Chains A and B, each alone.
Chain A
Amino acid sequence: MISNRTLYTHTGRKVHFYDDLVRGKVVTVNLAYTRCVGSCPAGFAKLATLQSMLGDAPGKDMFMYTLTLDPEHDTPRVLREARKEYGAGPGWTFLTGSYDAIDEVRRSLGMFDPDPKVDADRSQHSGLLVLGNDPMGRWCRVPLGFKTEQIFDAVRRVRLPASEW
C-alpha cells in the first residue's frame, strides 16, 4: 500500500501522496536532498537528462517526483532554487514534508534498508528510482546508478503496453 500522507510541493501546495500524485498516473520517485554531496548531484543530473529524453511526456503522460530526506533544510523555497539549478521542467515536482510523513512515504515504496543502522545513515540512502504505472498496477525500480539510456528504457517498459515493448 502506497502511503497517502500529506506532503508539500516546491510551490508549497499541500498534497496527499497517493491520491494527488500517484493515483491513475505513471510516475518516477527518487530520494535526494539538496545538501547531499554523495550520490544526489549525479542523480539530479541523470534525472535532468532523463527528463529531456522523455520529451514532452513529463507533466502530460507521466510525472517525476523527488522527495527530500532533509525537510528541515529543504523548504519549498530551497527546492524551487534546486529545481532551477537542475533545469526541472513542469513535470518534475520536488516534495518535502514532515520527517514522519517522508519516512512513511519512502518506506511504503520500499526505499529503506532493513538494517536500521544503514537506514539511519542518510549518506547511504536508497539510490533507487521507483517506477510505477498505477492504472496498470505495474511497478519496478532501477538503480539511479544505471546509465541514463538504461533508465529511459526501464521507464519506457513501465509506461508502454506490453505489446509495444
Chain B
Amino acid sequence: MSTRRDFLRAGMLIGGASLLPKWARADGGGGNVPRSPFLRPFAQDLPVPPVVQPSAPFATQRQVPPGAVFNQMRIREVQEKVHPDLPPTTLWGYQDVNQPNTRIYPGHTFVGRQGQPRVVRFQNELPANHRGFGVPNMVVHRHGGNQASEDDGFPLDLFHPGESRDFVWTDHVEDDRDVTQGTLWYHDHLIDFTAQNVYHGLAGFYIRYSDVDTGDETRPGRTGLRLPSAPFDVALLIQDRVFNFDGSLFYDLDQHDGMLGDTFLVNGAVQPVFRVKRRKYRFRLLNGANARVWSLALSNGMPFTQIGTEGGFLEFPLQRTDLLIGMAERIEFILDFTNVPQGTQITLENRLRQDDGRGPSGDFDHPDLSVRVPLLRFDVDGTAPDASVIPARLRDPSPADPFPPVNQRHFEFQRSNGAWQINGKFFDGARVDANPRLDDIEIWTFKNGGGGWWHPIHVHLSSFEILKRNGRTPPPFERAMKETVLLGPGDEVQMRMKFQNFRGRYVFHCHNVEHEDLAMMGRFDSI
C-alpha cells in the first residue's frame, strides 16, 4: 500500500501547483490563501531576459566617472503571460528603453565588467493611482554591489511615479578577494513594502565579468579562465507565486511570516523547458523567492559542479548533488551535457519541504529533503562546439590578514511579539547600529535567536568571508566571498568583514523580505 508521502511525491513530481497538499501552500494552513489553478509543467521554453544596451549620454546631476556607459531603464506595469494556459498577469518590471517590445519579468539583464563604470537612469512609470498590494514608489538596490550610499537603495531614498533617479555604479576593482564576484542582481527596497514590490516582479540580474572571468571561452586573455560563455552562460531566477484564475498575482496581505507560493517559476515562466546542446553550460542560480528556501537536485542524480557563490569563486570547483539556497543567495555551477545522449530529459527539482514562512523543515546541516517539485527541464538536443574548460583551480587562496581584527560585533536575530528584532531592537532608519571604519577588519557574529525560524542575512556595501559556522570551519560550498548568509535554526556564523570604498549609511537585514519589512533590519554607517 502506498503511503501518503509516496502519493505526495508522485503527485508533486507529475502535477505541479494544483496537486500541492495543504502543507505546501502559501498560508501554512491559515486559510487566507487561494490555490493557484493547475498549470501544466514544461509547456513553454525558458525565457532569457534581454541584455541592457547602452543609451546616448544624458545630462545628470551626478558626477559621471570617466568612460562611463549610460543606460536608461523604465519601471513599468505590463501584462505578461507566465504560462500558455493562464490569462496574462499584471506585473511590474525593469525594461531597457532601447527594447520596448520585450518581456520585462524578470527585469532586463545588465552585463558589466570590472573597471567599467555605469550611469543608469531609472524612470518610474508605474501608475500613481495603483490599487492593491505594492506601492509604486521605487527604491532600486543593486544587490551585491559596492556603491555609494546614495546609489545603494537605502529604503527611504524613494522616487515617485513620474520621477526618475540616476545611479552611478562604478564597478571599480575592489581588491583581489572580490574580483570574481560575477552574479549580482537588482530589486526594489522600499521601506515597509519591499516584499510586496518584489513579489510584483521587480528583480533582474546584473552580470559582471573581469580579466579573470572574461566571458569569452574562446579568448581567455592573459589571465582569464575559459568558463562557458554566452549563450551557454545562463542566469536562472527561481521564484514561487500564487495566481488567481484570472491570471493576476495573489499576495496575502494578512500574513507576515513570509509569503510562499504554490506555483514555481524560472525566469518568470512556470516550470519551463530549456533546450541544451551536448556541451558545458554555466548557470547562475538566484533564489528570488520572498520566503522559500530550496534544495535543488537533478532528476538523474547528475552532480552540479559549483564554481562560486554570490560573492565570488570558490578556490576549487566542487561537485554537489544538492544545492541548498536561501533567499537572495546565488550559486554558480557548471553542468556538462557533453556525454548525455541526444533526447535525454533531465529535471531540475526542489527537494526541500517547507510548510510556512518560518522556513523549511530540518536544519542547515540536515534539511528535510522529502519532496520532489520540478522547476525546469533540460532537453538535450543537438551539439555545439565547446571551447570551455573547468579549471582545476578558480582563484588563489585568500591571503592571510597581516593584522588582527580591530573589532568584534554580535548580532542576534529574534522574534518579538510577531515582529522582528536585531539585538532586541526594531529597525530605525535614524539609529546607527554599527559604525565600522573603512578598510578595518572586523569579526561579526550572526546568531539565530531561535523559535525554528530561518533567516538569510544580507549585508550591503561589501562582501564577507565566513570563518566559522557553529564553531566549525564552514562547509566547502561556503568557502568563497559571500554577502548573504543563511541562518538555519540554532545557527551561529562568524564572519570576516571589511567594508571598502564608500562612507555613508547602509543596511543589513533578513532577506525573508516579509521579515525585513517587519523591522528585522539594522543600519550601519561606514566611517
In Å, the complex CA distance between A107 and B252 comes to 12
A140 contact set on B, CB distance < 8 A: 192-193, 196, 517
Q: Are B426 and A145 in contact (CB under 8 A)?
A: yes
CB distance from B212 to the nearest CB of A (A): 43
Tally chain A residues at the interface, Cβ within 8 Å: 38
Q: Are B419 and A161 in contact (CB under 8 A)?
A: no
Q: Are A126 and B418 in contact (CB under 8 A)?
A: yes
Does A150 sit within 8 A of B, measured CB to CB?
Answer: yes
Binary per-residue interface labels of chain A (90-116) against chain B in the complex, 1 for a CB within 8 Å, 0 otherwise: 000000000000000001111111110
Q: Are A143 and B519 in contact (CB under 8 A)?
A: yes
B428 contact set on A, CB distance < 8 A: 146-147, 150
Q: Interface size for chain B: under 10, 10 to 19, 20 to 34, or 35 or more residues?
A: 35 or more
* Also in contact, A114 and B160, with CB within 8 A (given A39-B417, A107-B30, A108-B32): no
Q: Are A1 and B32 in contact (CB under 8 A)?
A: yes
A144 contact set on B, CB distance < 8 A: 417
* Also in contact, A137 and B133, with CB within 8 A (given A126-B418, A143-B416): yes
Q: How many A-B residue pairs have CB under 8 A?
A: 107
Does A154 sit within 8 A of B, measured CB to CB?
Answer: yes
Q: Are A126 and B193 in contact (CB under 8 A)?
A: no
Does B401 sit within 8 A of A, measured CB to CB?
Answer: no
Q: Are A110 and B256 in contact (CB under 8 A)?
A: yes
| From B137, B196, B253, contact of A162 by CB (8 A) | B137
Chain A residue with the shortest CB-CB distance to B34: A1
Does A52 sit within 8 A of B, measured CB to CB?
Answer: no
Does B356 sit within 8 A of A, measured CB to CB?
Answer: yes
Q: Are A139 and B253 in contact (CB under 8 A)?
A: yes
Does B490 sit within 8 A of A, measured CB to CB?
Answer: no
Give the contacts of A109-146 with B (CB-CB under 8 A). Answer: 109-115, 118, 124-128, 135-146
In Å, the complex CA distance between A150 and B358 comes to 26
Q: Are A143 and B128 in contact (CB under 8 A)?
A: no
CB distance from A110 to the nearest CB of B (A): 4
| From B196, B416, B452, contact of A127 by CB (8 A) | B416
Closest 6 CB pairs of A and B: A127-B417, A143-B419, A126-B418, A139-B253, A137-B132, A110-B254
Binding site for A on B (CB under 8 A): 28, 30-32, 128-133, 135-137, 158, 160-162, 191-193, 196, 252-257, 356-358, 416-421, 426, 428, 451-452, 517-519
